Each structure stands twice: as C-alpha cells, then as structure tokens.
C-alpha cells in the first residue's frame, strides 16, 4: 500500500513518525520495510534539522566478542549503577547490523590512513541526506517543515497527530494505526549548535496522552564552547589545557565540564588544544564547523588560548525521556518512542550519553520502534481510518501572533530556572524549591499564551515549561550526587538510590522512585 490522502492536509497511514533525525529516519525506514505505509513529519527539513545534522557524530561500532564485551564494560562503568548490560548488548548488536546495511547500501564511511572504512564516526549531514534518499526510494511520505502540535487519540489509543505547515500556516492531520515520537530532546533554546528545534515538543504531546518519564534528573549536561559560539563538540577538549585569566591551570577531579564550571565560579576560563599531536590535529580538521569560529578570528586553537563557556544541552545529551519498554512502546497503546525522545538510562546511566551511546541508541530504538509500530498498526488495519479521533492536547492551530512580547518574557523566565550553572549544573534543595515555585507560575503563563501567539511557538513554550518542571521535580527527588545530577548540598552517592526517578503530569507534577509513588514532589 501507499499512504493515501483526501488532500495534503488530511492523510492516512499505518505509521506516523514524528521527527526526522537519525532515530526518526530509521523508524520510518524500518516500518516501511515491515510492510507499513509510513508518513514522517519533521519540524524542519529532513537532512538538515537537529543536533546530528549540525556536525560529526561518533557511534559505537562493536563487533561480537571481545570488542562488544569491552564496549559493554565501558558503558557499565560510566553508568554508575543504572546501565543494563543486556540493553547495551542489544543496542550494540542492532547498531552493528544496521551499520553493515548502510555499507551494503553504499554509504561512504570515512577512512583511516590505510584506506579502511572507519565506522565509528558519521558526518551528520551526509548521514541524514543518505537516509532521506533511502526513505524516498522506499516510498515513505515526508512532510518537511510540518511540526506536529498534538497527538490524536481514540478510546485511549494513540491514533495519529495534527500540526501546522510552516510554508503556508495551514493545518495538517494524519490518522495512523501507530505513532513513533522521535522528536529529540530539549535544550531550552540555549544556543547550542543544532538544538534550535529541540524544545521538548514530543514530550508534551506524549504527556498529554498520559505518558510519563524517567531519568529527567540526569539532565545537568553542558557542552564546552568557545565564548559567543554555538559549537559544543566536546571531544576536542580531551586534548585541552584549561587556565584562568592569569594563566593558572584549572583541573582536578571530574570531567572537562567540571573543570570549566569550577573555573567559571571564579572568573573567565581559557582553553588551548596543546595536547593534540599533529596526527590528532589533522583528524580534528575533519570537523570543519568546530574550527570555523577560530579561522574567522585568526586563532590557532592548538597554540593560542581562547575563552570558553558552557552551554546547556539538557535532554539532548543528558538521558531523560519517555519511559519505554524493551519494544520501545510507551505506556500508551499505539505510541512508541525512539532516540533522544526516550529515556536512555539503560544505555548511559547517570552520565551523558552524548556521542556514541546516543547515536547507537538512535539507530537501535529507531529500528525497534518502526518495526513494532508497524506490527501494532497492522492489527488495526483499515479500522484506523474509521476511528473517531480527538486531539489529546490544547493546541490552537488558528492562533495568531498578538502577544510576542509576553512570549519572550515567558521564555526568559523558563531559561532563568534551567540554563544558569547554579540551577542546572550545581543543584541544591533551596534553589530547586525556589525554581519549582517559579516554574509553576511560568506554566500558567505558558497556558495563557496558547491562544494569543503563533501555535508553533505556543507549543514550544509550553513544552519547555513542562520539561523544566519534570526535570526540577526529578532532581528534588534524587537526594544524592550521581553522575550529572550534582547535588551540592548532598555531595555523596547513596547506594540505596541506584534506581530510576519517574515523573510526569502536567497541571500537577509528580515524581518518585516508582509509578506507584505519584506525588506532587514537594519536599
């Protein structure tokens, strides 16, 4: 079958995928290979939108045997008690298979000095362009510049979504047997490269349908960037020396972000990539976007100091997201999640999954969600077009932009409780409690905006407000320091708190160590 429609605004398919990054592309491709008709709706343009498209991305290419065992052990060590070895094994096996398929399809991996393909790195824009071409070849319908604004449900089962087309402001609707949320994470418009469209929209839509979250406490992730620059490609700083303004070396325990954050407490921080050998320097130059800011300013980053700061990356490189089972199904029938939209605790634990873990997770969960969504939809069959569906949220597709100044103020208020280092990086009960009260007010302000501004922006703001509240409630519940959850007032790690913190709700936020412990989460 092929996707059918009465017009470009009203479509029917077996599977709707929301989000066109790697996870969404793999989900759509694999659902189509499973025999489903598939529509992929992307907020931007499939191939250029999202964090992966903005730069190179590492990926874990681990063959079975010793390489796989080593990779699993590394994940477990960095996960600080939350990684599941069986999940990592399944993810790496699936990634290995799909990387082989990419090679068979003709994808050109970078090569090492002897000409051997190196499959541990992907140039984002090439990778996504290749996947886009594959989607078109296989008959997937792509809706570019078509952000989804709310899910459709029928008798408690997710049955599609509706949204707006950027090009003409017209609404669109897709009735589907199953939906895959692959819309990425949330960085709260921090300015980090590739995150402009990553405002937690999929989280909001799923929550409105009744879904919940895990790992939102592990979102204190910041990327190092040259001052006044958006590029947060952290791998180059493995070879950096950090100093204060006087030239004194900054270092000590913890990762690179910890060193920079500690230095920023006292003033300006500078870096120089002086530990990189000529061979490493040459390899780094394979990521031209990293060096463009330096080249424009006439700076040689290998010999000259440059000032750096930290940009918040939230759930894009943190690990929080929708709760999914091993089949990537959420708690809501007909709704699946993949990539950064799903919690990655089982893969990355309490540490950042940025780079290889997240990229591998996107491939594996993309495939699983696509296949399982297709199977779910096939059971519904032709009934999907006949079901009476209703919007699960409060999206107003006809709203106009008459309150933009108010909208700007709400965004600033959300960012004030999420982006500063003393809110997201170093957390204390007092500051978390103060933020909780402020965010409750911000949530009401965001609700009030829904019918007074452009619907796309209205939903972005509401999604950021909701995501900030889930993060805050989860961080208050985890009364310890573990990985990127840094409680300054409780610096030790508690072995009794090695489980997950779940969260959810909209008007009334809850968070607890199990779903049975739904509560307002006020200490």
Instruction: Tell me the pLDDT tens digit for each residue of 353-372.
Output: 888 999 999 999 999 999 99
State which H helix or E strand residue 358 sits in: helix 356-380
Identify the pLDDT of residue 389: 87
Q: At residue 464, what are phi and psi to the nearest 5 degrees?
A: -65, -40
State which H helix or E strand residue 506 sits in: none
Beta bridge mates, 17: 40, 180
CATH number, domain 404-514? 1.20.58.100
CA distances from 261 to 195, 254, 308, 353, 444 (A): 21, 11, 10, 19, 32
Q: In the structure encoding, which two tokens stand for residue 90, read together?
A: 């399944």
Query: With 70 as the cut, is the pLDDT of residue 519 above it?
Result: no
Identify the pLDDT of residue 515: 42
Identify the pLDDT of residue 2: 37
What is the DSSP secondary structure assignment for residue 500, as one 8-state letter? Answer: P
pLDDT digit string (tens) for 333-354?
Answer: 999 999 999 999 999 999 998 8
CB 359 within 8 A of CB 235: no
Kindly report the number of other CB atoms within 10 A of residue 209's CB atom: 24
State which H helix or E strand residue 327 sits in: none
Task: Please state, rounded to an integer, the average pLDDT across all residues of the chain.
Answer: 91
Query: With 70 as the cut, is the pLDDT of residue 179 above it?
Result: yes
Q: In terms of Cα–Cα distance, which of 71, 118, 122, 113 is closest to 92?
A: 71
Fold designation for 222-312: Flavocytochrome C3; Chain A, domain 1 (3.90.700)
Q: In the structure encoding, which two tokens stand for residue 477, read together?
A: 């519940």
Query: With 70 as the cut, is the pLDDT of residue 415 above it?
Result: yes
Q: In terms of Cα–Cα distance, which of 480, 411, 34 is closest to 190?
A: 411
296 vs 342, residue with greater confidence: 342
Measure the CA–CA gap between 458 and 446, rounded to whole angstroms: 7
Measure the CA–CA gap between 448 and 410, rounded to whole angstroms: 11
Looking only at the bridges linking them, the beta strands covering 56-58 and 121-123 are antiparallel
Q: Which residue has the tokens 């302000």?
A: 445
Cite the DSSP H helix spans in 12-155: 22-33, 66-79, 85-105, 124-137
Q: In terms of Cα–Cα distance, which of 307, 290, 317 is closest to 250?
A: 307
Q: What is the mean pLDDT of residues 465-476?
A: 98
For 360-420, give the DSSP string. HHHHHHHHHHHHHHHHHHHHHTTHHHHS--EESS---TT-----HHHHHHHHHHHHHTTSS
Query: With 70 as the cut, is the pLDDT of residue 41 above it?
Result: yes
Measure the CA–CA gap between 429 and 413, rounded to whole angstroms: 20
State which H helix or E strand residue 333 sits in: none
Query: With 60 as the cut, is the pLDDT of residue 213 above it?
Result: yes
Task: Specify burial of residue 89 (Cβ count, 10 A radius: 0-12, 13-18, 19+).
Answer: middle
Can you give the pTM of this predicted structure?
0.94
Query: With 60 as the cut, is the pLDDT of residue 5 above it?
Result: no
Q: In the structure encoding, which two tokens stand for residue 238, read together?
A: 């493995």
Positions of CATH 3.50.50.60 in the chain: 4-55+125-217+315-391
Identify the pLDDT of residue 291: 86
Identify the pLDDT of residue 520: 39
CA distances from 430 to 142, 467, 494, 520, 523 (A): 47, 20, 20, 17, 10
Positions of CATH 3.90.700 in the chain: 222-312
Q: What is the mean pLDDT of residues 379-397?
A: 80
Beta bridge mates, 220: none
Q: What is the mean pLDDT of residues 184-213?
A: 96
Identify the pLDDT of residue 518: 41
CA distances from 200 to 234, 326, 363, 474, 488 (A): 23, 22, 20, 16, 27
Question: Which residues make Cβ contacts (< 8 Å) with residue 422, sequence separation at least 6?
Answer: 431
Positions of CATH 1.20.58.100 in the chain: 404-514
pLDDT digit string (tens) for 226-278?
Answer: 998 998 888 889 899 999 999 999 976 567 899 999 999 999 999 999 999 99
What CATH superfamily is the domain 4-55+125-217+315-391?
Answer: FAD/NAD(P)-binding domain (3.50.50.60)
What is the DSSP secondary structure assignment for residue 16, as one 8-state letter? Answer: E
CB burial readout 306-332, b (16+ within 10 A) else e: bebbbbbbbbbbbbbbbbbeeebbbbb
Query: With 80 as the cut, is the pLDDT of residue 399 above it?
Result: no
């Amino acid at each position: 079958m092929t996707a059918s429609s009465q017009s470009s605004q009203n479509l029917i398919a077996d599977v709707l995928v929301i989000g066109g990054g790697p996870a969404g592309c793999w989900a759509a491709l694999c659902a189509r290979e499973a025999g489903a008709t598939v529509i992929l709706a992307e907020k931007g343009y499939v191939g250029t939108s999202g964090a992966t498209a903005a730069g190179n991305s590492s990926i874990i290419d681990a063959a079975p045997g010793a390489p796989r065992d080593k990779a699993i052990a590394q994940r477990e060590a960095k996960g600080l008690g939350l990684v599941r070895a069986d999940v990592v094994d399944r993810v790496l096996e699936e990634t290995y298979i799909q990387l082989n398929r990419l090679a068979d399809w003709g994808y050109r991996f970078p090569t090492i000095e002897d000409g051997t393909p190196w499959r541990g790195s992907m140039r984002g824009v090439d990778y996504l362009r290749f996947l886009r071409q594959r989607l078109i070849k296989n008959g997937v319908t792509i809706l570019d510049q078509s952000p989804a604004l709310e899910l459709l449900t029928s008798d408690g089962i997710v049955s599609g979504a509706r949204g707006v087309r950027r090009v003409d402001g017209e609404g669109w609707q897709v009735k589907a047997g199953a939906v895959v949320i692959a819309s990425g994470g949330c960085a709260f418009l921090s300015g980090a490269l590739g995150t402009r469209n990553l405002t937690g929209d999929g989280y909001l839509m799923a929550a409105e349908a009744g879904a919940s979250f895990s790992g939102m406490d592990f979102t204190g992730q910041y990327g190092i960037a040259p001052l006044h620059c958006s590029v947060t490609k952290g791998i180059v700083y493995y070879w950096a020396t950090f100093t204060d303004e006087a030239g004194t070396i900054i270092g000590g325990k913890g990762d690179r972000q910890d060193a920079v954050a500690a230095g920023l407490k006292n003033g300006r921080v500078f870096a120089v990539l002086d530990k990189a050998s000529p061979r490493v320097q040459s390899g780094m130059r394979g990521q031209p976007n990293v060096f463009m800011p330096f080249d424009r300013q006439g700076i040689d980053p290998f010999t000259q100091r440059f000032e750096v700061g930290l940009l918040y990356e939230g759930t894009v490189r943190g690990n929080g997201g929708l709760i999914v089972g091993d089949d990537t199904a959420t708690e809501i029938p007909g709704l699946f999640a993949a990539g950064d939209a799903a919690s990655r605790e089982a893969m990355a634990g309490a540490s950042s999954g940025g780079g290889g873990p997240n990229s591998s997770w996107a491939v594996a969960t993309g495939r699983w969600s696509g296949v399982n969504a297709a199977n779910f939809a096939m059971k519904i069959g032709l009934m999907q077009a006949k079901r009476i569906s209703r919007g699960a949220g409060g999206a107003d597709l006809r709203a106009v932009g008459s309150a933009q100044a108010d909208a700007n103020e709400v965004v600033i208020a959300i960012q004030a409780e999420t982006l500063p280092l003393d809110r997201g990086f170093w957390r204390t009960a007092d500051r978390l409690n103060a933020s909780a009260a402020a965010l409750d007010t911000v949530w009401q302000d965001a609700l009030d905006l829904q019918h007074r501004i452009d619907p796309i922006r209205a939903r972005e703001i509401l999604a950021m407000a909701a995501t900030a509240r889930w993060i805050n409630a989860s961080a208050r519940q985890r009364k310890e320091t573990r990985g990127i959850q840094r409680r300054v007032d409780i610096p030790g790690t508690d072995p009794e708190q090695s489980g997950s913190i779940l969260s959810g709700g909209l008007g009334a936020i809850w968070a607890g160590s199990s779903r049975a412990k739904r509560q307002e989460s006020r200490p």
